[in-house]
Amino acid sequence: MSDLNQNSNANQSVLSALDVSLAYDQRTIVKNVTLNLDPNSITSLIGPSGCGKSTLLRTFNRMNDFIPAFRKTSGFIKYRNLDIYGDDVDPVFIRRRVGMVFQKPNPFPSSIAKNITWGPSINGFQGDFDELVEISLKRAALWDEVKDKLHSSGLALSGGQQQRLCIARAIAMDPDVILMDEPCSALDPASTAKIEELMSELKERYSILIVTHNMQQAARASDHTALMYHGELVEFGSTRQIFNSPKNKVTEDYIMGRFG
């Protein structure tokens, strides 16, 4: 099955969706979306509420498996040419390679260090845990703020710090891709700016797919932008092209703020 529908540049893509349709019970949420994600780049998925962008995002690490009504009705989702929904694929392997940051900061109710080390330890990390904590927190630009209280609760941090802790937790797994589901929607502008700055540093090592409601954020922080509307992928291209010379009328209306 894996050599069917082989897209020309699918070999280079980290993640790709080929003609993907998704549904909750009988209700189709995503219709025939094809999307390729370049390595070491930031791609943002934008679109009005309920357009299916979060549902699409969650198929890339099979987090939709936990929604009983969810079904994939057509197409392939691929991670480096591996069919993610293939019969012989263990979702645990996918989630270990494709990390995720959620909309609401959700640190574990334990210490900052434990938040970082738990994922690697259950996945058989062989290295030095103290070093891992330091590197992950440094990459998430949180080290200086928390280095003296690594053993106090992650829940005692501010919302923005908690979200960066969640990013550090994802980084500690040394993933290939990081999925972000509206990571800044619960944060104040200062914390948002910090996370955007962080994203541009992280793309040196990881590929990032981010769902956002905030068009300015997509314009500022991403290399590629995809606009979804009513479950369909309306337009996908470089962020500069999408925001400066959209080819589609819907895209133009959306980025001009005529609906949404």
Partner 1 sequence: MTPEELQRKLQSSFTDMDEIPLFKDNLNARARGEFLFKWTVRFSAFTAVFIMSLLLYRVLQDGLPWLSFDFLNRFPSRLPERAGIKSALYGSCYIIVLTTIFSVSIGVAAALYLEEIAKKNRLSQFIEVNIANLAGVPSLVYGILGLAVFVRYLDFGRSVLAAAATLALMILPVIIITSREALRTVPNGIRMAALALGATPWQTIWSHVLPAALPNILTGVILALSRALGEAAPLIIVGGVTYIAFIPESLFDSFTTMPIQIFNWAGRPQVEFQGIAAAGIIVMLLLVLTTNAFAIILRNKFSQKSRW
Among 108, 129, 143, 243, binds partner 1 (CB under 8 A): 108
Q: How far is the CB of 16 from partner 1 (least distance, A)?
A: 20
**Residue 145 C-beta-side C-alpha neighbours within 13 Å:** 16
Among 28, 32, 74, 153, binds partner 1 (CB under 8 A): 153
**Residue 100 C-beta-side C-alpha neighbours within 13 Å:** 19
Q: How far is the CB of 54 from partner 1 (least distance, A)?
A: 12
> Quick one: how far is CA 231 from the chain centroid?
18
Q: Given the complex with partner 1, which of 55 and 239 has the nearer CB atom?
A: 55
> Residue 28's beta-bridge partner residues?
23
DSSP run (H or E) holding 236: strand 232-238
> Quick one: how far is CA 84 from the chain centroid?
16
Q: Number of residues interacting with partner 1: please give it, by CB under 8 A.
A: 27
69 binds partner 1 (CB under 8 A): no
Q: Which stretch binds partner 1 (CB under 8 A): 72-80, 163-171, 183-191, 220-228?
A: 163-171
Q: Are 166 and 107 in contact (CB under 8 A)?
A: yes
Residues 6+ apart with CB under 8 A from 259: 48, 253
65-70-76-77 Cα dihedral, nearest 10 degrees:
-40
25 binds partner 1 (CB under 8 A): no
Q: Which stretch binds partner 1 (CB under 8 A): 34-42, 99-107, 130-138, 199-207?
A: 99-107
66 binds partner 1 (CB under 8 A): yes
Sketch the per residue contact string, 173 through 212, with partner 1: x for CB under 8 A, - otherwise: x---------------------------------------
140-146-147-149 Cα dihedral, nearest 10 degrees:
-140
| Contact positions vs partner 1 (CB under 8 A) | 61, 63, 66, 68, 92-93, 95-96, 99-100, 102, 104, 106-110, 118-119, 122-123, 153, 155, 166, 169-170, 173
